[in-house]
Structure 1
Amino acid sequence: MACMPALQTRMFRAASLLLAVVCCSSVADAQTRLQYRYESGDTLSYELKQTLTTTANISGQPMENIMSQQLELSTHVQNVSADGSAEVTKRINRIRMRATQPGRDEPLTYDSQTETDVPAPFRMIADSMSRLVNQDIQMTLSPEGEASDVQLPDSMNNLINGAAGGIAGVNSPEGVKKMISQGSLIFPQRAVAVNESWTRELSTDLPFGTMKSNVILTYAGQTPEGLHRIDAKSKISLIPKEGTPFQVTLKSADGQGVYLFDESRGCVYASALKQQMDLEMSALGQTIKQNVVTDITMRLVEQNTRTAGRP
């Protein structure tokens, strides 16, 4: 009879071990490996909309400017390697812009597919953005979405080097490559469970300083439509640049958004991001407070049978 407690102890330990194995198996089964899937000859087309709303108080007068952009983008897959990475060509096929201006009832508009004469300074922005249209940018994308070996066409390199303000505020080929590399949703090189997070560190060089973003991405599981949801939150900071004619201080900033990933298609189906910043700009003894809100949405617009029926 003395051996009974020891036997019961061994049985309890065995049952506990079996329960732990079962629980671990359940957790492992609940994990999802998120990866892009590329097919040679495939072309994905997206519509990206961005709205920038700036409000300020100048000499006691409230002012609001709204600028919106609508881009038609495409990614063409040229070759797919055995490891799942792909050589692709990215292109902006069309840019449409719209902006309000104090003192004007009618908004300013621009369309890269039409010859439109727009007044300055809106013309400077339109001319800068138009330089990006119909430029084939080559790169390699990993199954996790990391971009490498970004190659700009000679025509774009010449435009960047020859333009006083660069292209879209970027004044070097390396800056354009960096902007492209940081513009994608990147997955971790492992399976993730619901509510598991990973981070990305991004930086943008601006005329008045360097803006840094710590982006926290969290896998939120599947939607009723079968799409994988990834929530995003960003913490933003600004490192001022010395020697500039004006100083910009970031008083507060936050960003949040959501990505929907179509596993059957192996691509992002849609995304929506919102960022808000409160800034103070100081120059010549004057300080102007600004609130800047940026809304960005992107959606797959050319669907085939594998994405048909999505919302």
Structure 2
Amino acid sequence: MLSLRGRGALLAAAALAVSLHLGLSAAPAAASGGKPGGGVTCPGLVPDCDINAGGGGGGDNGEKPKPGGKPGGGGGGGSAKCYIEWDNIGEVPCYDADMGWFNPAGQCYWEILEPQPAKDAADWEWGTAAPATDAERAKGKVYNVTCPGAGRELMGGSTWSLNPPPGFGGGPTAEELAQEAIKKMRLLGADIGSAPKAGKTGLVGMPVWIWNNKAPRTWGPVTASASAPGITVTATATVKKIAYTMGDGGSEVCTTAGTPYEKRFGGQPSPDCGYRYTKTSASQPGQAFTVAATTTWVVHWAGGGQEGDITTTREAEPAQITIGEAQAVAKP
């Protein structure tokens, strides 16, 4: 740490201890369905038949702000929040035009001192945290530290640091660490299950059941953490919704994983995630509708006195659903 004699009140003994804490560095740390054949009579009201049936065809802007500059837009659908616990202040801006960037380690604002003091300035006093050499000193910067809250002015002052604090341009922000945690999760799109399933054929107008075969990486919750010096962020991802495009121009949005079909359900519609086709798939490539799905994940993260949410999407491996048309069979 170095301090300026002209800031007398800011150079109390408390400033030394806290500035040492504030000086922490931040390192960048489907199978295809069967082909429809001729007309059939289904053995009861079920979403699929074992016999083939046929008929007529019917995401961060990733921008890093420059040290001392204003923050850019928040990428990835995320929004950071910063908090000061002292004096019950609560939520504060993560950037303040007068005070600079909020540093969660110590809950103070840091701003590069402009102009920087001359290398041989006579009015600087070096504390025990001083860089060992002039070359090391030249690599760091002097920051003006402001600590809002009653009686906290002694915690601020002019402080030298080799690296920017967390979130100050050169180091990862809490939200950037959250993005790193998301990468560790390896989130996936839906593992699509359906009735009728591959190799079987549903009928026009009959209920189609859709579901996501639930696993941590396809439905959640999934939790992971990422760290940089002075800050650790923990993120938890859960699915908000799954949007299915059914291959016939229609779509279905499900906010649950869906209910897997069982034979005991007979011809009932799905209670939470279903569809009905109004035409056959005979004219489609492979004579089956291609069903795609986009999963929207919401990731809540917290760490370093901040928290926020990031929205990201994942695509599913497409599924194939074959739809035919039942025809009356005349008795001999």
Q: Same fold (TM over 0.5)?
A: no
Normalising by structure 1, we get a TM-score of 0.28
More strand by share: 1
Larger radius of gyration: 2
Higher relative contact order (CA 8 A, sep 6+): 2
